[in-house]
A = this chain, B = another copy of it.
Amino acid sequence: MRRWNGWGDSANNYPLKPSGLRFVQARLGRAEPLPDAELQSVLDQVPASRLAAHPLVSTDPEIRVRHARGQSLPDWLAMRSGEFGHFPDGVAEPETSGEVRKLLSWAEQHDVVVIPYGGGTSVAGHINPQPSSKPVLTLSLARMNRLVELDRESQIATFGAGTPGPQVEQQLREQGYVLGHFPQSWELSTIGGWVASRSSGQQSMRYGRIEQMFAGGKVETPRGTLEIPAIPASSAGPDIREIILGSEGRMGIITEVKVRVTPLPETESFHVAFAPNWDTAVELVRGMTQARLPLSMLRVSNPEETRSHLMLAGHEKLVSVLHRYLGLRGCGDEKCMITFGVTGERRQSRQTLAAARQRIRGAGGVVIGTLLGKKWEESRFRSPYLRHGLWEHGYVVDTFETAVNWKQVTPAMKAMEQAVREQAGDGEQVHVFTHLSHLYPQGSSIYTTYVFRCSASYPETLARWQAMKQAASEAIVANGGTISHQHGVGRDHAPWLIHEKGQEGMAAIRSLIGHFDPQQRLNPGCLIQDSDVTDKQG
């Protein structure tokens, strides 16, 4: 069963390996875990529902607890401490667009706030009920989880918006197709949630971001039903899909998603190489990307992430042999791990792989082969479980991310890492490392992970995190980065959005929200902060 207070199914456990724990302890010092709350103590806090009865709405306390929080660090601390704060007054699980429509009408009739809910995996506070004088209904798309239609000739699949990653791929695989959207949250996040939050997956280099996959669909808005046809390309006015992409539940509830799919690839493999240092590594991957080498994924870890990754992986002896071998080949302490994948037709994949290897060797790098690549593939969705493994030992892990143009990649990364380190507090260490995982000809995403010790209490731990998050966000916008390349805005990033969109961009989004949802019934406070969403001219 899915955990009520953490990531994934309770059957899945990935405890920290001894070598990993020693590594973290050496960096940060020993730590004391904070005590976890019991589910019952949380259930006891759930207040009576303020909702009128409705056949599609459950007001069961446990269901309300299980839909109250996402997966951000504040969410984690809330769930672990048992201090949830707010709960939805009820949870609806409609099975059709028609039922969603009816629930929206009912919500209007009863003046209810509605929070659309996909997989509940937001790390930016997208689905958290806010204090409100109105009752709050969380509308989960969980039951709309089927492949509705597959047009093989045009390679377009239509899914219920609540279909989670594994069910998307399984239903397609049975027909010989793949979508290829693999965000870190893939096990739990849904196709509608990907659209609503402009998600990006690990193999975006081949399959594109969700923007490139999203061909059309159906959105139930407070104004009425918005149907977006799947046309391959059009010059007929602004693209409505691009208004819904990233709308984060503010403009309507996505109920049906049409996506561009491809036949299952003939072949797929992942490989690891090392470059002698960061500058060489960045130059190398920038060159590979700008030459449009048709890789399916490409990731480069900075030296600290490389070290951490190898230590946390376990296999001490093997790793030590690897260090020695790489050292002899010119990749010493400052080496950077490069992971890359090829996916597709056999012949083209072979050619791509040869070209990639040639470039890596030409830059003084060492290609290791598929062993570590296979390891990456096996554990590609395991990172969210790392929070559990560290938490047990008194450590907290979180991540933040952005995308910047190539010119800014290294300065932005340094500024982001530095900002977090500076906020650690008196004599306290933070372990910070970074990778680039979505590379574009114009620039790259930057994904930073940081680990620190729990403070003596939950509130102090949260305060420490807040200081680091604030500093990191400031560093991001100061370096021309987007406040989110893949996590979305939610409530946590909303204060920073203006740095990317500007005054007039913000006004346009506000105006669209006001257009689709004049009552501000849908997910208020998400994406755009202003309590007053209606556009004030001039």
**Besides A215-B442, A240-B508, 7 other CB < 8 A contacts?**
A153-B405, A224-B503, A226-B508, A230-B442, A237-B501, A351-B351, A508-B512
The answer, yes or no, to whether A262 is at the interface (CB within 8 Å) is yes
Q: How far is the CA of A481 from the CA of B233 in the complex (A)?
A: 10
User: Known contacts being A231-B403, A441-B155, is A245 close to B236, with CB within 8 Å?
Assistant: no
Q: How far is the CA of A81 from the CA of B399 in the complex (A)?
A: 67
User: Known contacts being A294-B294, A538-B223, is A153 close to B407, with CB within 8 Å?
Assistant: yes
Chain B residue at minimal CB-CB distance from A514: B511
Q: How far is the CB of A522 from chain B (nearest CB, A)?
A: 14
The stretch among A54-62, A197-205, A366-374, A451-459 that forms the contact with chain B is A197-205
Q: How far is the CA of A407 from the CA of B149 in the complex (A)?
A: 14
Q: Which of A227-260 contact B (CB under 8 A)?
A: 227-240, 242-248, 260
Contacts of A404 in B (CB 8 A): 231-232
Give a binary string over A261-304; 1 marks a CB under 8 Å from any B CB, 0 the rest. 01100000000000000000000001000111010000000000
The answer, yes or no, to whether A507 is at the interface (CB within 8 Å) is yes
The answer, yes or no, to whether A434 is at the interface (CB within 8 Å) is no
For this complex, 21 residue pairs linking A to B, each with C-beta atoms less than 8 Å apart, are A154-B405, A154-B442, A198-B237, A200-B235, A215-B442, A223-B507, A226-B504, A231-B500, A232-B403, A234-B482, A234-B485, A235-B482, A235-B485, A236-B493, A237-B527, A238-B243, A243-B243, A260-B441, A291-B345, A512-B512, A515-B535
Q: Which of A470-520 contact B (CB under 8 A)?
A: 480-489, 493, 497, 500-505, 507-509, 511-512, 515-516, 518
A405 touches B237 (CB 8 A): no
The answer, yes or no, to whether A443 is at the interface (CB within 8 Å) is yes
Q: How far is the CA of A445 from the CA of B231 in the complex (A)?
A: 10
Chain B residue at minimal CB-CB distance from A252: B504
B407 touches A488 (CB 8 A): no
A237 touches B242 (CB 8 A): no
Q: How far is the CA of A247 from the CA of B236 in the complex (A)?
A: 9
The answer, yes or no, to whether A440 is at the interface (CB within 8 Å) is yes
The answer, yes or no, to whether A347 is at the interface (CB within 8 Å) is yes
The answer, yes or no, to whether A431 is at the interface (CB within 8 Å) is no
Contacts of A154 in B (CB 8 A): 405-407, 442-443
Determine which of B229, B405, B489, B511 lies in contact with A230 in the assembled complex, contact meaning CB atoms within 8 Å.
B405
A232 touches B504 (CB 8 A): no
A235 touches B155 (CB 8 A): no
B508 touches A243 (CB 8 A): yes
Residues of A in contact (CB 8 Å), total 95
Chain B residue at minimal CB-CB distance from A293: B348
Best-surrounded residue of A197, A215, A238 (most CB of chain B within 10 A): A238
Q: Which of A108-156 contact B (CB under 8 A)?
A: 151, 153-156
Chain B residue at minimal CB-CB distance from A445: B233
A236 touches B243 (CB 8 A): no
Q: Which of A61-85 contact B (CB under 8 A)?
A: none
User: Known contacts being A351-B351, A538-B223, is A236 close to B441, with CB within 8 Å?
Assistant: no
Chain B residue at minimal CB-CB distance from A480: B229
B242 touches A407 (CB 8 A): no
Q: How far is the CA of A229 from the CA of B445 in the complex (A)?
A: 16
B508 touches A405 (CB 8 A): no
A238 touches B509 (CB 8 A): yes
A234 touches B403 (CB 8 A): yes
A440 touches B232 (CB 8 A): yes
A515 touches B509 (CB 8 A): no
The answer, yes or no, to whether A438 is at the interface (CB within 8 Å) is yes
Contacts of A221 in B (CB 8 A): 504
Q: How far is the CA of A404 from the CA of B229 in the complex (A)?
A: 10
The answer, yes or no, to whether A444 is at the interface (CB within 8 Å) is yes
The answer, yes or no, to whether A209 is at the interface (CB within 8 Å) is yes
Chain B residue at minimal CB-CB distance from A344: B292
Contacts of A244 in B (CB 8 A): 238
Q: Which of A378-405 contact B (CB under 8 A)?
A: 403-405
A237 touches B231 (CB 8 A): no
B500 touches A236 (CB 8 A): yes
Contacts of A39 in B (CB 8 A): none
Q: How far is the CB of A485 from chain B (nearest CB, A)?
A: 6
B508 touches A511 (CB 8 A): no
Contacts of A443 in B (CB 8 A): 154, 231-232
Determine which of B243, B405, B504, B538 lies in contact with A231 in the assembled complex, contact meaning CB atoms within 8 Å.
B405
A235 touches B507 (CB 8 A): no
The answer, yes or no, to whether A41 is at the interface (CB within 8 Å) is no
